[in-house]
Amino acid sequence: MFELTVRADFSSAHFLRDYEGKCRNLHGHTWKVAVTVAGHTLDNIGVMADFVVLKAHLDAILNRLDHACLNDLEFFKVNNPTAENLARFIYQEYKPLVRPVVLKKVRVWESEKADVVYYE
């Protein structure tokens, strides 16, 4: 089995609804994201998945989030824009783009000291 990971980052603002603390106020993060795919089949040149393609798919998703207020996006009007829900959103958007390889997990860092992993 092989695992490939691509990383990227983006900046956005958000606030947490119904949160009792400073994060209920509008604030921003430079989020770091790592997406890991897995598979056991290599193509005729020995590649499971092209890093360039994987990175382009991630960039396309993150470009929609970059320099936005996450609360204004449709998904986050229903789901509080927590790091957990952000990881789930990226996972759900990325998964159909990489078939037939398997999306294993999405890791999102809201800071150097705090991250979350989402997988199914």
Which of 3, 27, 67, 120 is labelled catalytic? 67
pLDDT of the residue at 1: 93
Domain boundaries, the chain: 2-118
Please give the model's pTM, rounded to 2 decimal places: 0.96
86-95 pLDDT, tens digit per residue, is: 999 999 999 9
CATH of 2-118 given 1.25.50.20, 3.30.479.10, 3.40.50.150, 1.10.10.10: 3.30.479.10
Asked about 23 being catalytic, the answer comes back as yes
48-99 pLDDT, tens digit per residue, is: 999 999 999 999 999 999 999 999 999 999 999 999 999 999 999 999 999 8
14-55 pLDDT, tens digit per residue, is: 999 999 999 999 999 999 999 999 999 999 999 999 999 999
Strands (E) across the chain are located at 2-14, 27-39, 102-111, 114-118
Decide: helix, strand or coil at residue 11: strand
Which of 3, 23, 27, 120 is labelled catalytic? 23
Distance between first and last Cα of the chain: 18
